[in-house]
Amino acid sequence: MQSGTQTLYQGWGKRRGISAMKTDIKLDCVLNRQTMRGCLGAIVVASAAAFTPSAAVAQSNNAITLDGITTATEALPREFWDPVFIGQTITGEDNFQMRVSAKSFFDYGGGYITGLQMHALDPALTGGGYHTGYLSSQIDPITFNGDLGVIKFFGQTNIGYIDVDNGNPLSDNSHFATMPNKYFGIAIGNLLDDSHDLRFGVNLTGEYALNRTDLKGDNRDDAGCDEDELDQEFCLYDANVYVASSRWGRITVGRGESASARVGAINTGGIAFATDNDPINKVGFHDVPMLGVAFADVALGDVNGMERIDGVRYDSPTFAGFTLSGSWGEDDEYDVALRYAGEFGGIRVAGGAAYQNFERDNTGATQQNVTVAASVYHTPTGLYIAGSGTAAERNADMVPAIGEKSSATAWYVQGGYRSMFTELGETVLFAEYGTQNDSASSGNYFMPDSGTEYFGLGIVQDVDMLGASLYVTYNNYSAERAGVQGDDIGVVMTGLRIKY
């Protein structure tokens, strides 16, 4: 076994409105899997001790534990409401030192709120936010307004080599491709009023795509970042401003995540960048043998509903681990979501529920999704499980015709094992299964006796020193349409997600 010392700081010291916190917390750790979890989890102790004075802290044999660790989410630090500050350590009054991390708070599904909740529970194991990639961590953030404001650059690429075996001899379905979740941008945060903890910020993010896996198909030479313009390789991802307070919550205006974004993908395994509950993300528009249609036309394409909006969003403060969000956008699209994260005796829990109402592809028809998701992670053993369910309902001016129906369902489950096999970083082994019923589109509605079923296996290896994760996945997909069963499709993907 190998020993080491880790210097950590949670909170921003006196100039961030916190006077009860010392600027250096040194923990002696034994670097094996179980004791490392306890050591890294001590950051939560520091956070809880600073923001929840009633927390009971005990120390023995160089390990620190917290009695009632859920208090960490009951009074989250103000940085929770300003993602630009997440993942930052300070070693001195004016010295910002970023740490490179393979993990991101977007890796746990559920959008940035779930990621920030998980970060509040365990900052070390969930990695950091902006400015914690291999390149950006080497550059001091730009500060202004007496160090009360900060500017950070960030981004990530998720690229791999994918082989889609659907038996089509006329199409080359082996190629380099990007997964949907990659971006680059700049975030600005500024403390406007320290006495009222009022903050203002700006987020500007772009996206680059090459053969994007959820849009690529046998008959599609291009698959960029815009489904309506497939040859477009650069797109605007986020462009918004916000005002936030840990007391009143956060209001965001502009283009960005919807309130219910990726609730169905909540996953304590931290591998949402490699796989999730949407089967289209890997198969895309490749043909299903024997059916003569694309897989995306049989699967429930809106299983995660609207993930981005041009509109306004509100996120409430966190109470006992719960955060309520709502958003409204153009075409009267709206949604609400409730998320939770907490920990009980070494069992970490995350979950959410969401309702969405949105227009489908400018057809005038609307769809309503109800989604529930939950994930549990047993930190002493490294075992986790995640699951979600979605019920979709479509409405249009004309009632469903014969051979059509208005509703469809989707179910998904994933289980895995997280461990520190090497000093490179965490390793995750996982298996997954999903099924969708009556999911094929038929005009404005769904088609009975249709659906998809799929299973998969994979491994993800973090390389913390590079801010990167390597992964290999295998999935088998089957699809049925109008009672006709298509041949299976096998998909193998070897990928690299690297944070800049």
Give the count of domains, the chain: 2
Of 243 and 150, the one with more pLDDT: 243
Last residue of a domain, one of 144, 172, 202: 144
Six-digit token string for 77: 């630090």
- pLDDT range class, residue 451, cuts 50, 70, 90: very high
CATH assignment at residue 293: 2.40.160.10
Residue-wise pLDDT for 153-190, tens only, equals: 888 899 999 999 988 776 668 888 888 776 788 888 88
pTM over 0.85: no
pLDDT of res. 86 = 62
Residues 281 and 384 in one domain: yes
Give the mean model confidence (pLDDT) for residues 488-500.
93
Residues 308 and 353 in one domain: yes
Domain boundary among 113, 144, 175: 144
What is the average pLDDT across 380-398?
94
- 60-74, 130-144, 474-488, range with the lowest pLDDT: 60-74
Banded pLDDT at 58 (limits 50, 70, 90)? very low
Specify the higher pLDDT residue, 115 or 387.
Answer: 387
Same domain, 135 and 271: no
Q: Identify whether residues 310 and 375 lie together within a single domain.
A: yes
Mark whether 7 and 123 lie in a shared domain.
Answer: yes
Same domain, yes or no, for 199 and 347? yes
| Domain end among 85, 119, 144 | 144
Using the structure block, give the residue that is written with the tokens 């040859």: 231
| 298 and 398 both lie in a single domain | yes
Q: Quick one: 294 and 312 in the same domain? A: yes
pLDDT of residue 128 exceeding 90? no
- Residue 271 predicted with pLDDT over 80: yes
Mean pLDDT computed over every residue of the chain: 78
Same structural domain for residues 156 and 116? no
Give residue 27's domain range: 3-144
Judge whether 274 and 206 are in contact, CB under 8 Å.
Answer: no
Same domain, 123 and 248: no
Q: What are phi and psi of 270, to 5 degrees?
A: 70, 30
Reported as a single tens digit per residue, the pLDDT across 304-331 is 878 889 999 999 988 889 999 999 998 8
Work out the pLDDT band at 100, boundaries 50, 70, 90.
confident
Same domain assignment for residues 216 and 109 = no
Which are the contacts of 319, defined by CB distance < 8 A and separation ≥ 6? 74
116 shares its domain with 28? yes
Mean pLDDT of 391-420: 92
